[in-house]
Structure 1
Amino acid sequence: MQNRLTPALAFEKIKYFCAYQERSHHEVKDKLYKYGIYSDDIDQIIATLIEENYLNEERFATSYVRGKFKMKHWGKIKITQGLKVKRISSYNIKIGLLEIEEDEYLDVAYKLTEGKWLQLKDEQYINRQAKVIRYMLQKGFELHLITDCIKRIRE
């Protein structure tokens, strides 16, 4: 554990932490605890960060959704779970998920399903289907969407 910082010094360090990339309130609190800052000081620092626009939970949620969908091709279920782990409010999760365009989401789901389906071409049909479904569920896509994609591939 690091030496205890003064609230003023912790505020300066945490500003850089927030400026570097979008952060959730929870991440900032954890970092402040590591700096040896507690309760009232944490609340004051977080309030100031919000006031000065270093910290914005809605902006964090939209950035997180964009990144996880575009870069890692996660589905909405996995993204939602990730945001809940970061203790983002349901309202901000809904706002964040609006970043995903439905056509693009369906297209990514289809391409991932098709890619996995073709990769498993030597498998028996039932094993192939089970493995594709398991893979897509791990990526966070909805079961009904996965089964629709498999039907389209088989047609």
Structure 2
Amino acid sequence: MSFPRKEYPKAEGKKPWSLAEAKTKLAAYCAYQERCQEEVRTKLAERKIFGEDAENLIVLMIEEGFLNEERFAKAYARGKFNLNHWGRNKIQQELKWRKISAYCIKQAMKEIDGEEYWQTIVKLAARKSKAVKEKSDLALRYKTSAYLISRGFEPDLVEEALNEVIPK
């Protein structure tokens, strides 16, 4: 599967950074919250720093511990699951879009507790099935499962959760 190439934002009205200024600004940018390399590249492109200069700054941020893809992936997965109630499929897709390696994605998925994951699916299924105004059980199951799958939960787990929440 191919992902669309991300367009860099226009740098209109933004003053280009010198390399020394970029180093301190990037350190603050990465220290504020976990970032991935693609976000840093985008930030540098906004300030008209490209190519070898950008890559050297990224390497410097990695060496100084400001930038770590695995740490970013783990924090991203935990946050999106705990706060936004996203499923594994959606989290993995977003991490792939951010050009995170398969190894880091695999490590990030280990951050999601299996029992907590199941409880979240059941809770969301129950909440959605109560909110849907359908008389037919088939339509209710369809709309609830479509909602959960769109949130990134696996179809087989969604089916099991629906069997628990909406008995056949």
Same fold (TM over 0.5): yes
For 1:140, the equivalent position in structure 2 comes to: 152
Q: What is the aligned counterpart of 2:141 among 123, 129, 147?
A: 129
Contact 2:141 2:166 in 1 (8 A): no
User: Which amino acid in the other structure matches residue 77 of structure 2?
Assistant: V
Post-superposition shift, 1:47? 0.7
* Distance in 2 of aligned mates of 1:72 and 1:52: 31
For 1:16, the equivalent position in structure 2 comes to: 28
More helix by share: 1
Q: Among the aligned pairs, what percent are the same residue?
A: 37
Post-superposition shift, 1:68? 0.2
- Listed as ranges, the gaps of 5+ residues in structure 1 are none
1:51 and 2:98 are equivalent in the alignment: no
Q: How many residues align?
A: 155
Post-superposition shift, 1:121? 5.4
* Distance in 2 of aligned mates of 1:15 and 1:67: 22
* Distance in 1 of aligned mates of 2:129 and 2:16: 54
Post-superposition shift, 1:125? 1.2
Q: How far does the alpha carbon of each residue in 1:20-42 deviate from its partner, in whole angstroms, 9 at most, with x for none?
A: 10000000011011111111111
* Distance in 2 of aligned mates of 1:154 and 1:19: 46
Q: What is the aligned counterpart of 2:40 among 15, 28, 35?
A: 28
**What are the within-5 Å matches in structure 2 for residues 5-154 of structure 1?**
5-120=17-132, 122-154=134-166
Q: TM-score, length-normalised on structure 1?
A: 0.96
Q: TM-score, length-normalised on structure 2?
A: 0.89
Q: How far does the alpha carbon of each residue in 1:85-119 deviate from its partner, in whole angstroms, 9 at most, with x for none?
A: 11111110000010001011011011101111122
Aligned-CA RMSD value: 1.1
